[in-house]
Structure 1
């Protein structure tokens, strides 16, 4: 029976209970997998360097949700009636992304700040759930591959000529727990020119926190049901991709609420985290577009990817 306690970070077997703020947990090898709605969602980056391309900043505003979708679904969810969170004073500590010791206070503080950002929206929905755990896992597992049809593979079962480039999971969300993969983030940091920019790593966690928000708003459950109802792998992958792009948008909302108002900083975030095209996470242009749209959002309806035209969710 899981009573909410977790193993001791010191490894002595004594239980540690983390409540109200992010929990730190040192585990074994991090599992690498392509995001699956509800069962597990992840933020991915390509293992190869991807050249930055000019951004198309066309805005996908003025959405028209499907007329036959019931209220409470993914496109007509009451979350979209909420205004963007107010700015909050929650200073983020400096981070050396190559240091485990530096990550501990960082995830603890960021988890608490994101809880403060999103609490009003959850209360508007009549939800007061336990905040998610934010845990750290050492190591990096085998790379995952995304195939041309949006399915996943590993190095040992790649889909031949349809397989795309390899991707690594930096962080994942699974039913109330956010996990940061230390082996992956330290590898990425070593290759990044702006690895000391805390906004990059805050965005990483904010993307996964957005999946927690989607889950508690009922968006993920509805999207998952739509995936199960379709016989088309292409349609199922598009539904999954809409969820990931929405998480990018909500991460942009959180950045603005936490006081990141410099466009140069946001440009660093998009260049560092959102490069490369992914069947399940979207094109680099669309990932950057949605994060920027969230950063500029006036209401959370601006992040309604489920009602966006197909071109904006490719």
Structure 2
């Protein structure tokens, strides 16, 4: 199977590489996966715990967002089963029209909101959807200015997802298959899921304790690869009404490979995982469609390199 996937990736990887640099832009989580905050960039913040919410049965329950190591490796979200195959009738965007791209991204974000709200309700954890900044004019966030080198980013400080409606198309070399952009958005949304589920706080605490960049990056890779898997789980779950053809699937996997760490890069540079592992976790999410299948924190070391 891997040889077939590798061939597909090699054939399709050109779709998503940046013409400006010869390398693909990264989808990043500012304040989530960056090796260290940029000058003036605030430290990531997580939401407060101990909130009240309505239970699925309608009664008010006091819930505590998971914390500590349990939030990372034994999160209630992992026990919620497959994502609900909710309707997601996504329009075909005109990638050369910023308004069309904005409309497309908003529809996908609506689907993500409904999907993850449903899953968090199963887990008994409160959930607030992220804010959306689908921008055409440059601006600034609490984490960084945009445009940036990243194709998209999530800022935990504002609980916002930032994607440029023209910028992202340019960075992805004008790719016209909408699943590329849906996958990118779902990946950034997955970082919000990590934050709302309580695992980011412990992740950041442990990462800060590491003595050097290489060991910090080992934590970062697990976070990024989990986001890949959660993105794949969403795309697989909504494929009933947002069909993912065999060709689309190859494009998704090629994009996962293209946005991975460059082969031969040092441990101090590797933050997103190898091409093989990036594809592995994306494909695992597509097939399993279950947050419990995305527990990269206890995965074998060779799968998160």
Length-normalised TM-score, structure 1? 0.66
Q: Distance in 2 between matches of 1:273 and 1:97?
A: 20
Q: Distance in 1 between matches of 2:82 and 2:295?
A: 13
Task: Provide, for residues 255-309 of structure 1, a one-character-per-residue CA deviation record: whole Å limited to 9, x for no partner.
Answer: 0111144333111112135315421111111111100000111632211111111
Q: Does 1:281 align with 2:272?
A: yes
**Could you list the runs of 5+ residues in structure 2 that have no partner in the other structure?**
1-24, 35-66, 140-147, 262-269
Structure 1 or 2: larger helix share?
2
In structure 2, what is the equivalent of residue 187 of structure 1? 170
Contact 1:241–1:313 under 8 Å retained in 2: yes
Count of aligned positions: 228
In structure 1, what is the equivalent of residue 286 of structure 2? 295
Contact 2:29–2:191 under 8 Å retained in 1: no
Which of 167, 175, 180 lines up with 1:200 in the alignment?
180
Structure 2 residue matching 1:96: 3-state secondary structure: coil
Contact 1:139–1:183 under 8 Å retained in 2: no
Q: Distance in 1 between matches of 2:32 and 2:138?
A: 17
- State the 1:140 CA deviation: 7.5
Runs of 4+ in 1 over 6 A off after TM superposition: none
In structure 2, what is the equivalent of residue 225 of structure 1? 205
Contact 1:71–1:78 under 8 Å retained in 2: no
Q: 1:186 to 1:135 in 2, by over 3 A?
A: same
Q: 1:309 to 1:258 in 2, by over 3 A?
A: same
Contact 1:41–1:173 under 8 Å retained in 2: no
Structure 2 residue matching 1:281: 3-state secondary structure: coil
In structure 1, what is the equivalent of residue 255 of structure 2? 272
Which of 92, 95, 98 lines up with 1:97 in the alignment?
95
Q: Distance in 2 between matches of 1:139 and 1:274?
A: 29
Contact 2:256–2:278 under 8 Å retained in 1: no
Contact 1:207–1:247 under 8 Å retained in 2: yes
Task: Provide, for residues 130-183 of structure 1, a one-character-per-residue CA deviation record: whole Å limited to 9, x for no partner.
Answer: 211121233689xxxxxxxxxxxxxxxxxxxxxxxxx93111111221000345
In structure 2, what is the equivalent of residue 170 of structure 1? 151
Q: Distance in 2 between matches of 1:215 and 1:268?
A: 28
- State the 1:36 CA deviation: 6.1
Which of 135, 138, 147 lines up with 2:136 in the alignment?
138
- State the 1:125 CA deviation: 3.1
Alignment of structure 1 residues 1-314 onto 2, 5 Å? 35=28, 39-41=31-33, 72-138=70-136, 168-175=149-156, 176-189=159-172, 191=173, 195-259=175-239, 260-275=243-258, 277-278=260-261, 279-297=270-288, 299-314=290-305
Q: Distance in 2 between matches of 1:296 and 1:100?
A: 32
Structure 2 residue matching 1:264: 3-state secondary structure: helix
Structure 2 residue matching 1:169: 3-state secondary structure: coil
Task: Provide, for residues 4-61 of structure 1, a one-character-per-residue CA deviation record: whole Å limited to 9, x for no partner.
Answer: xxxxxxxxxxxxxxxxxxxxxxxxxxxx999467x2458xxxxxxxxxxxxxxxxxxx
Cα RMSD over matched residues?
2.6
